[in-house]
Amino acid sequence: MTSTSLQMRCPVCNGQSFQAGPQIFDDRYGQAHIFNLASCKNCRHLATAPRLSESDLPALYGTYYPRKAINAAQVAQEAAKILKPQAALRRWWNGTDNQGQYSVRAGQSMLDVGCGSGCSLLEAQALGAKAFGIEADPNVRPIAQALGLSIHFGSLQDEPFPGQRFDLIVMNQVIEHLPDPDQALRQLAQRLAPEGRLFLVMPNTESIWKRLSGTRWINWHIPYHQHHFNQRNFIRMAQACGLKMVRKRTITPNVWTVLQVRSMFSKPQLGMPSPIWAVSPPAAQDSAMNSGANPVKVIVRGVILTGIALVNRITDALGQGDSLLVELQSERVS
């Protein structure tokens, strides 16, 4: 079994041959195929095999990927938190600072590729920036219209916002979903303003939680994640695309840890969606959070969440956190 060879292009080293690894399947949403966690024979980059093509993605996401039922008012309410006192401290404690828009500065132009509901664009606007987004999901269109957001519905390949260059281009948890991440980096590098920065966030395959959970790590997220980067291989790929690293760090959202622990106590079955990942309406989530009539439960829950936050802030500081943030600049800038 271990000698099984798979033909697939490596975006890091351009090698063509992967070695088959553990079998793994969609333990969240019940896509009923078994995939392989393969490693490049040349550079050890990890990738999902068989690789999906761009044309497979609409059917995959349309069938399995749940979308939260959200409206414009909820998005605006969420984005307004950025102006609350101690917002940055709260994000640090909760591990939700792992998003590129928080580093935008007043007067800059920002593009968020895969901007989802558009919350990041509103946050960037609140920080004084001009914000643009690209999103594949047409369900976001009414929200964009209601909030007056500049979102192109389509992909990067459409070359939206012609002539516009950006001081900050953000990709929050998107690059790992793309079959050809190196091609996307080359396209994005073309859209950077002089001295512009590219801010990418992705799962970190060298995190402590990945080491502890092995094939049960929630961030394999197969088959939606096509590539699984470590710092060395990601930076090598970026360099081949004419980008150099300016800064990197790791952050673990506390909610990921809660989901990781719950996931390790569950027994995923092929083709069956997991209740852990079911999207419940916001009203149900609110009532679940406020089910604290029992004071003992409230205290126990508070102690556990504080412990998780402390552990995560320490592992982040050691560079072992679950998401990897990398800031890049064009090689042409000295």
Distance CA 255, CA 246 (A): 28
Task: Using the rule CB under 5 A, give the single segment among 6-14, 17-25, 131-139, 148-156 that binds Zn ion.
Answer: 6-14
Least gap, CB of 19 to Zn ion (angstroms): 11
Beta bridge partners of 18: 6, 40
Q: Does 45 bind Zn ion (CB under 5 A)?
A: yes
Q: Out of 13, 126, 245, 258, which residue is the one contacting Zn ion (CB under 5 A)?
A: 13
Total of chain residues touching Zn ion, rule CB under 5 A: 8
Six-digit token string for 198: 């590219």
Least gap, CB of 205 to Zn ion (angstroms): 14
Q: Out of 17, 19, 42, 74, which residue is the one contacting Zn ion (CB under 5 A)?
A: 42
Q: Does 15 bind Zn ion (CB under 5 A)?
A: yes
Closest CA to 191 of 330, 74, 79: 330
User: By three-state DSSP, how is residue 210 classified?
Assistant: helix
Q: Out of 6, 10, 113, 119, which residue is the one contacting Zn ion (CB under 5 A)?
A: 10
Least gap, CB of 47 to Zn ion (angstroms): 9
Least gap, CB of 15 to Zn ion (angstroms): 4
Backbone φ and ψ for 221, nearest 5 degrees, come out as 40, 50
Q: Does 146 bind Zn ion (CB under 5 A)?
A: no
Task: Using the rule CB under 5 A, give the single segment among 7-15, 119-127, 269-277, 323-331 that binds Zn ion.
Answer: 7-15
Q: Does 49 bind Zn ion (CB under 5 A)?
A: no
Q: Out of 12, 171, 185, 218, which residue is the one contacting Zn ion (CB under 5 A)?
A: 12
Is 15 or 242 the residue whose CB approaches Zn ion more closely?
15
Distance CA 203, CA 195 (A): 26
Q: Does 40 bind Zn ion (CB under 5 A)?
A: yes
Least gap, CB of 232 to Zn ion (angstroms): 11
Distance CA 323, CA 203 (A): 4
Distance CA 26, CA 218 (A): 10
Q: Out of 17, 19, 30, 43, which residue is the one contacting Zn ion (CB under 5 A)?
A: 43
Which string of x and - marks every residue 262-281 that binds Zn ion (by CB under 5 A)? --------------------
Distance of CA 184 to CAs 59, 157, 181, 219, 309, Å?
21, 9, 5, 21, 34
Least gap, CB of 154 to Zn ion (angstroms): 30
Is 96 or 183 the residue whose CB approaches Zn ion more closely?
183
Closest CA to 35 of 27, 43, 274: 27
Is 10 or 119 the residue whose CB approaches Zn ion more closely?
10
115 burial class (0-12, 13-18, 19+ CB within 10 angstroms)?
Answer: buried
Instruction: Report the b/e string of 191-215 with b at 16+ CB within 10 A.
Output: bbeeebbbbbbbbbbebbbbeebee
Contacting residues toward Zn ion, per CB under 5 A: 10, 12-13, 15, 40, 42-43, 45
